[in-house]
Structures are given as structure tokens and as C-alpha cells.
Structure 1
């Protein structure tokens, strides 16, 4: 009973208080989805800091300060990425996502090829049909003098 209460209280903690902990929430569950989510956050933060670092020297003359600002923001962003995937509410969501993805029945290679061919032909058919309607209506409107 106390374990359930502790877990439910942990799941309701706000993100701000969770940022200053170093523990990993449920480390053996949802590992793949959490690692990929953290990697995506790291890439976004890294690209943002790189862009900021390339922009800052045009605004300020001191390259050391520009490097320092970008470095501090990079470190803070990486820490935030690590902590957000271990925030109990978000971690439970990612764990549930991985559990649902494991239930999915993925198509075989042949089924995937057949479905892709059907989709591609349908798109081409619709594109040709819409093009024909466009040409027909353009001809009708130009004949009536609605368009020039």
C-alpha cells in the first residue's frame, strides 16, 4: 500500500522540483522510447546551441563570452533532456507508449510492398483526375470569358 502511495505521489511531482534530482525513474521500463526521446531532445538542443553560437559573434565582439553562453545553454539543455524523460508523469507516458508499440502487429515485407504500390497508384490516379478537372474547368471558364 505504501509503495502505491509513494508511486502516485511521485507521479504527481511538478517538473521544476524534478529537475534537481539525479535519479532515474523506473530504469528498466520503456528504455528504448525514453532513450530515443532523450536523443531527440539532445539533437534539438545541440542544433539550437550551435545556431546560437554561430549567431552570437555577429552581435557581440567577445568570442569567449559567446562560447560560454552557448556552452552553458548546451549543458542546461542536455540536463533538461535527461531529466524530462525521467520525470515520472512523462516517463510513465513513454513507458505506456512502448507497451502499446509492442502490441502492434507489423506488416510483413510483402504486405508492405503491396500496400505501398496501392497508395502510390491511388495518388497518381487522384493527381491525374484533379489535373483533368482543372484543365476542363479552366477551358469552360475561359470559353465563358470568366477568366482571361
Structure 2
């Protein structure tokens, strides 16, 4: 059933790249904006790395690395914007935001108590594993297995 519903909006991403419309603009805005920002940050870091790599080659003109990086940044920013408006991906992000709105978040006191329990458990397990390691090391040294 869900594939039939998703199939009605199944335009390939390549055809969606050349539209400027926003798919379901009032739904899933926060998740879509955060996802788009994340994509833009990854693209910007990649372009910065590309610029640094191209700039290290001395025989290339100083304008080539900057122009290439800025061109890739512009293309990546547009693709990121269009990706979060691609119907299949946008519907997924809308569903994610709807599910996140159903989550019951703990209060500050519950969070502190649960964190203390987790830290105590990790500390207890670390001490236990260290003790087992020391005991087995002593046993193996005593019978002469390790040298």
C-alpha cells in the first residue's frame, strides 16, 4: 500500500533538479531545514578541501581552484536544496518529524537519574573486565603460558 502511495510521486531526482518549487511547504519544515543545512555543511567542507588540494598544485592558475570550488559549492547547494524537496525524500522527512513529535522526552530529573545509572553501570563493567583481565593474566603467568 505504501509503495502505491509513494509511486504516485516517483519523479526521478534528475527531473526534480530543474524545478524551483517547494514540495509540501508547510509539512516537515524543521527536519527538512536541518537536513538541508547538514547537506550544505558537508558540501562546503568538501569544496574547502577541494580548494586546498587544487591550490597545492603550483602550476595551476590561482583562479582555477577558487572558480572550481565556488562552482561546486553552488551546484552542491542547489542539489541539497532540491534533494529535501524531492517528493520521496521529503515524504520520508515529513514522516520523521511526525514521529519525533510523538516522542515523550524525559524531564531534567529523569535524565540525570538515568545518566547516573548508565555511568555507574559502565564503571562497574569496566572494573569487572579489568579484574577478569588481571586474574586471567596472573593465571597464565603462573602456569607459564605467557612469556
Task: Name the TM tier (shorter chain).
Answer: over 0.9
Shift of 1:8: 5.2
CA distance in 1, matches of 2:125, 2:133: 12
Q: How many residues align?
A: 143
In 1, Cα distance between equivalents of 2:124 and 2:13: 50
CA distance in 2, matches of 1:122, 1:63: 56
State the 1:54 CA deviation: 1.1
Secondary structure of 1:83's match? helix
In 2: Cα distance, 1:63 partner to 1:145 partner: 66
In the TM superposition, what is the alpha-carbon distance from 1:56 to its structure 2 partner?
Answer: 0.5
SS in 1 for 2:56: helix
1:137 to 2:136 alignment: yes
Query: 1:33 — aligned with what?
Result: 31
Alpha-carbon RMSD: 1.6
Q: 1:14 matched to which residue of 2? A: 12
Pairing 1:1-148 to 2, within 5 Å after superposition: 9=8, 11-59=9-57, 60-148=59-147
Return the alpha-carbon distance in structure 1 between the equivalents of residues 90 and 127 of structure 2. 47
- Cα offsets for 1:123-145 (capped at 9, x unmatched): 00000000000000011111111
5+ residue gaps, structure 1, are none
More helix by share: 1
Which runs of at least 4 in structure 1 moved beyond 3 Å after TM superposition?
none
Q: Give the deviation of 1:69 after TM superposition.
A: 0.6
The TM-score with structure 1 as length reference comes to: 0.92
Q: Which runs of 5+ in 2 are unaligned?
A: none
Per-residue Cα deviation, 1:25-59 (whole angstroms, up to 9, x for no partner): 00000000000000000000001101111110112
